Amino acid sequence: MSTSATATINETPRLMKSTGQGLFNFAAGLSILFALWWIGIELISRSSTTAYFASFGPVPTLRAMAMLWHGGLIQSAVWASGYRLGTGLLIAIAIGVPIGILMGRIQIFRELSNSPFQLMRMISPLSWEPIAVIVFAGWNEAIIFLIAIAAVWPVMFATAAGLAKVDPNWFKVARNLGASRRHVLTQIIVPAITFDVLTGIRLALGVAWIVLVPAEFFGVTSGLGYTIEDAREGLNYDQLMAMVLVIGAIGYMLDSLFVQLIKRYSWHRQT
Amino acid sequence: MTKRQSGKPEDPRGESPLDYKKHGDGINDPKLVLDEKPLFGGVLGTELSRRTLLKVGALAAFSGAASLSSMRGWADKKFDPVVRIGYLPITDAAALLVAHEMGFLKKQGLDSERPTLVRGWSQIVEAFQAHKFNLVHLLNPIPVWMRYNNKFPVKITAWDHTNGSAIVVGAQTGIQSFKDFGGKQLAVPFWYSNHNIIAQMLLRDAGITPVIRPQDAKLGPKECNLLVLAPPDMPPALAAKKIDAYIVAEPFNALGEIKAGAKMLRFTGDVWKGHPCCVVAMHEADVMDPARAAWTQGIHNAIVEAQLYMAENRKATAQLLSKDGKNYLPFPFEVIDRAMNFYDPAYYKNPLAIKHVEWHQSRINFQAWPYESATKVVTEELKKVVLTGDRAFMDKLSADFVAKDLVNYGFIRKSLQNNPKWRDDLSVPQTGDPYNRIEVIEV
Amino acid sequence: MNAVAAPAGALAFLRQKSPGARRFFFGIVGLAAFFAVWELGTLLLQFNPATRTFATFGPVPTLEAFPLLWGEGKIQAAVAASGYRMGAGLLIAIAIGVPIGIVMGRVKRFREMSNSPFQFLRMISPLAWMPLAVIVYPEWDQAIIFLIAIAAVWPVMFATAAGLAKVDPAWFKVARNLGARTVHMLTQVILPAITFDVLTGIRLALGVAWIVLVPAELLGVTSGLGYAIKDARETLSYNHLTAMVLVIGLIGWLLDAVCVALIKRYSWHHRGNH
């Protein structure tokens, strides 16, 4: 008891130090970005014709963000897009991970599926748009489809790549030790590939954001992409940057979540 | 003119779908036959399509699927009694928006949903083709491609508005007239638009040849390079001196003036009196099916009433459409007000953007009658303008044919007859027959 | 019996012959299956009268469009224009992403400080960058290359860092003990170890770059694959659209195959993957 007490006493300053360090790094990194942003926009809006574009800068942006928040626009946009993004990503994971595992384990499947998948993953989601409009009755469903179809490939390939790096001997050993198919899946495959799958999902998140803005060109009335387009059309660049910041913040939080998951579940205790 | 081959094996019912007595206005006009193979939609009409029919037939036979008799081209669009409007966030959409918002559709006994905002022409076309909308506004040339390149049964039934576009130039370009466009970069919003047509007309008139080349390609002294930009990207591009001028629908000219230091060069309505820009488009089934005639008539009555309302209440309309009103367009009142109403010849005198003050046009006008003469001009010009898309199908189209086949005049005519005030717009001939005019194009 | 034995025999035969022939054979079969599914989807579209107009998305009209577009030189011109932009964008993404990824993997301080800004930046959609790109870059091509590079740099960067993270730190200690300088460390330890992950990152970046190409080429250019797709969509020539999409798919496939070959050649993980 006394040892655990001493251990805790020794741990606390270390914990505080590491949290403090984390916060410092977070703030320092962002401050540098902020500064670069400020300088950059200053330079751009020098000329008289481009003077208007000073509204890209950090100060107008923060002001616009306050205004948008008051108007409830940010909240409704996050809610609407969050739903679409979340559903699209979930579908992408639900499809991508199993297929990725199949690709990794069954050689015939991998060889057969390689060419069609390589073809399909290069199709820009915007090219899928007409199909999305025909097939899906609702706009939300069409958008979710576009996000899913863009996000499934990073997940799928990352999963397959992760599986490819698993030492085949492990499977032999597992089988020797009498592991059933399910055991092999849950005890070997899933933990081994978690790192890569989560990396794939991180990438899928990035891709999904890219797709969200043009995807919300359709007949929806709210959403982050929708609000960005509204700002873009009205040349309200401060509002545009405000929404960009919001997206950045959300993306950052989600990504941090994934990093924590990686730390927790992966065999590679890194990052 | 290609005639439909009746009694083809593909049509099991055996009757000619376009029976003028049953489905039309009772006038047998041979020009009104449609070169359409209803079973094969947009397939290129080669022998391959028959093979596909056999495949489909086999599939149908095996799966015992629904009868082939329901494949009848335009008649297959099911009737949707709710008016579903799709629009782009430009002032051009005003007539349809006001028709819903001010209750003109309701007054006609029609149920309508709040119009759906779509951000791009392609998206609105696809949604329309997927039957998600049954009433849209489209750039005048778009239905030409829809009907004759893609064989989609669409009809222009009225004009959504006239004028409403302009050319602006960058403040430091020193451009005073179209003769100064040699060696310059001009942006258009869409190749298949009247903006492109008018811009090229103006250039050719000034002795400048429009070309399409990469940005850094050398241009002759009498060549002007054209490119396509989305309207929201035009003011930044102008400000950054990447383009020297752009032509677009309002309110992006107004925005350019306010925010990017753009100078108004010419209003398009001052060049071509009362020219069409966006048209009202509907599915052919909704237009030709006599069972839906009352519904379609109601829509057109509402459109005309909306237009007349807007002509009298411009400021109120601007307020209604803006962000400060019902938020149909993502712009504040000042921008839309300027875009719709600010047409002061005294202000716009250097360069002289309004030369024909006596025409008494406005920055945007709301006149619905789709003049045949205008459609003919558009068709002829479309064959001449420089653009990059597929245009081979136009070689077979004559302007007369398009004016009669693409546009339906019945419903809008009746609505206008019931609302004689439409003739107050001065692009309508004030003497003689108001339904026919000679196009006045004076640079 | 013979008919059943024949395919099995053929498979066994292929397995013994070169793996290249085997891959080729399966590639063809995979593509055939893809076309079959595509045609099936198209038949469904054609069958339903409400969607018949979209039947031009089908494989048959698409293949018919190929000779037409090739003859007009449209495919070649589009590939040249987009190829230049994609190539430049990807090269920049690699040139920036790999070194930064290595620094991220090796220098803890940098990794922790750069994390927040990078996460912010990578979530910005290209369409949101567009007005800024239009103002900053004097040429459209440059703006497009910027949009591609900014989208493609993240997969490369993170894959590099991830690859480095998996390197056994003991190796660095051993190398240092054996007297390796930083240069040696870089070329003899780091690069070979991370090649697999870097090339995986490049494969992913390739996918992202193609996604971005179509909206990027909305920026005032009148050439390129993205532009051609947009033009086809606007003229409702859907078979031209799918033909261009297929061209992109084919090029992407080729490039990806090159990446895979490079992985096999240079990576320490000698696994016979795709």
Distance CA B333, CA C183 (A): 64
Mean pLDDT, residues B52-57: 51
Residue B207 has phi, psi (to 5 degrees) of 80, 15
Nearest of C71, C99, C221 to residue C148 by alpha carbon? C221
Q: Which of B340-344, B350-354, C77-81, C129-133 has the highest mean pLDDT?
A: C77-81
Chain C positions touching A210 (Cβ under 8 A) are 125-126, 151, 208, 211-212
Angstrom distances, CA of residue C79 to CA of A62, C68, C75, C142: 42, 16, 6, 17
What pairs with residue B267 in β-bridges? B166
Higher pLDDT, B414 or B51: B414
Task: Report the greatest alpha carbon distance in chain C.
Answer: 75
Q: How many beta-carbon contacts under 8 Å exist across B and C?
A: 144
Distance CA A80, CA A74 (A): 10
* pLDDT number for residue B187: 94
- Nearest-Cα residue of chain A relative to residue C155: A203
Instruction: Kindly report the nearest CA distance between residue C45 and chain B, in angstroms.
Output: 10
* pLDDT number for residue B42: 36
| A12 domain residue, yes or no | no
Chain B positions touching A50 (Cβ under 8 A) are 239-240
Architecture of domain C73-266: Orthogonal Bundle (1.10)
Distance CA B101, CA A260 (A): 50
- Which CATH number is A114's domain given? 1.10.3720.10
Of chain C, the percentage scoring pLDDT greater than 70 comes to 91
E strand or H helix at B264, and its extent? strand B263-267
* pLDDT number for residue B281: 96
Nearest of C82, B429, B72, C247 to residue A122 by alpha carbon? C247
The dihedral through the CA atoms of B135, B139, B140, B144 has a sign that is: negative
Q: Which fold has domain B85-163+276-342+362-424?
A: D-Maltodextrin-Binding Protein; domain 2 (3.40.190)
The answer to whether the CB atoms of B149 and C52 lie below 8 A apart is no
The answer to whether the CB atoms of B71 and C218 lie below 8 A apart is no
Domain boundaries, position A143: 64-265
Q: How many helices (H) and strands (E) does chain C have?
A: 12, 0
The closest CB to that of B227, out of C50, C220, C240, belongs to: C220
- pLDDT digits 0-9 by tens, A13-37: 776 776 777 777 778 888 888 888 8
Mean pLDDT, residues A39-50: 76
The answer to whether the CB atoms of B216 and C139 lie below 8 A apart is yes
Q: Is B131 on the interface with A (CB under 8 A)?
A: no
Is the per-residue pLDDT at A235 higher than 90?
A: no
In this structure, of A2-11, A228-237, B90-99, C47-56, the range with the lowest mean pLDDT score is A2-11
Within a 13 Å sphere around the CA of C49, how many CA atoms are in the beta-carbon half?
Answer: 18
What pairs with residue B253 in β-bridges? none
Q: How many beta-carbon contacts under 8 Å exist across A and C?
A: 219
Is the per-residue pLDDT at A263 higher than 90?
A: no
Angstrom distances, CA of residue C78 to CA of B357, B365, B438, C144, C200: 46, 40, 42, 15, 27
Distance CA B65, CA B58 (A): 10
Residues 137-176, chain B, touching A (beta carbon < 8 A): 170-172
B78, B84, B85, B117, best to mutate vs chain A, most A CBs in 10 Å = B117
Mean pLDDT, residues B147-165: 91
Distance CA C175, CA C168 (A): 12
Q: Is C93 on the interface with A (CB under 8 A)?
A: no
Distance CA A140, CA A225 (A): 13
What pairs with residue B112 in β-bridges? B83
3-class SS of residue A67? helix
* pLDDT number for residue C207: 82
Chain A positions touching C215 (Cβ under 8 A) are 124, 126, 214
Is the per-residue pLDDT at C169 higher than 70?
A: yes
What pairs with residue B407 in β-bridges? B156
Is the per-residue pLDDT at B32 higher than 60?
A: no
The answer to whether the CB atoms of C55 and B43 lie below 8 A apart is yes
Is the per-residue pLDDT at B11 higher than 50?
A: no
The answer to whether the CB atoms of C111 and A271 lie below 8 A apart is yes
Nearest of B244, B264, B245, B246 to residue B254 by alpha carbon? B264
Distance CA B217, CA B220 (A): 10
- pLDDT digits 0-9 by tens, A176-210: 888 787 877 777 777 778 878 887 888 888 888 88
Give the distance, in angstroms, between the CA of residue A159 and the centroid of all CA atoms in the same chain: 16
Domain count, chain A: 1
Is the per-residue pLDDT at B68 higher than 50?
A: no
The answer to whether the CB atoms of B331 and A134 lie below 8 A apart is no
Residues 252-271, chain B, touching A (beta carbon < 8 A): 255, 259-261
> Beta-carbon neighbour count of residue B113 at 10 Å?
11
Mean pLDDT, residues B377-381: 93
A33, A85, A110, A122, best to mutate vs chain C, most C CBs in 10 Å = A122
Q: Is C115 on the interface with A (CB under 8 A)?
A: yes
Q: Is ipTM > 0.85 here?
A: no
Nearest of B101, B100, B266 to residue B167 by alpha carbon? B266
Is the per-residue pLDDT at A109 higher than 70?
A: yes
The answer to whether the CB atoms of C52 and B41 lie below 8 A apart is yes
The answer to whether the CB atoms of A232 and B235 lie below 8 A apart is no
The answer to whether the CB atoms of C269 and A134 lie below 8 A apart is no
Is the per-residue pLDDT at B382 higher than 60?
A: yes
Instruction: Kindly report the nearest CA distance between residue C210 and chain A, in angstroms.
Output: 6
Residue A222 has phi, psi (to 5 degrees) of -160, 165
Q: Which residue type does B334 have? A: E
Residues 34-73, chain C, touching A (beta carbon < 8 A): 34, 45, 51, 54, 57
Q: What's B165-270's CATH class?
A: alpha beta
Chain B positions touching A52 (Cβ under 8 A) are 239, 259-260
Is the per-residue pLDDT at A77 higher than 70?
A: yes
Instruction: Kindly report the nearest CA distance between residue B240 and chain A, in angstroms.
Output: 7
* pLDDT number for residue B189: 92
Mean pLDDT, residues C58-72: 87
Q: What does the DSSP 8-state code read for residue B352?
A: B
Is the per-residue pLDDT at B430 higher than 60?
A: yes
In this structure, of A31-35, B200-204, B355-359, C51-55, the range with the lowest mean pLDDT score is C51-55
Q: Is C140 on the interface with B (CB under 8 A)?
A: yes
- pLDDT digits 0-9 by tens, B395-408: 888 999 999 999 99
The answer to whether the CB atoms of B232 and A233 lie below 8 A apart is yes
Residues in contact with B136: Cβ distance below 8 Å, sequence separation at least 6, in sequence order: B85, B86, B87, B96, B124, B128, B280, B281, B282
The answer to whether the CB atoms of B126 and A130 lie below 8 A apart is yes
* pLDDT number for residue B429: 87
Higher pLDDT, B221 or B38: B221
Per residue, the 3-state secondary structure of C193-222, as one string, reads HHHHHHHHHHHHHHHHHHHHHHHHCCCCCC
* pLDDT number for residue B77: 80
Nearest of B315, B325, B174, B198 to residue B249 by alpha carbon? B198
Which chains have at least 3 CB atom pairs separated by less than 8 Å from chain B?
A: A, C
In this structure, of A94-108, B51-65, B98-112, the range with the lowest mean pLDDT score is B51-65
The closest CB to that of A134, out of C45, C109, C251, belongs to: C45
Enumerate the CATH 3.40.190.10 domain ranges in chain B, comma separated. Answer: 85-163+276-342+362-424, 165-270
Angstrom distances, CA of residue A155 to CA of A92, A121, A258, C66: 7, 11, 13, 32
The answer to whether the CB atoms of A124 and C256 lie below 8 A apart is no
| A49 domain residue, yes or no | no
Domain borders along chain C are 20-48+59-71, 73-266
Higher pLDDT, B419 or B59: B419
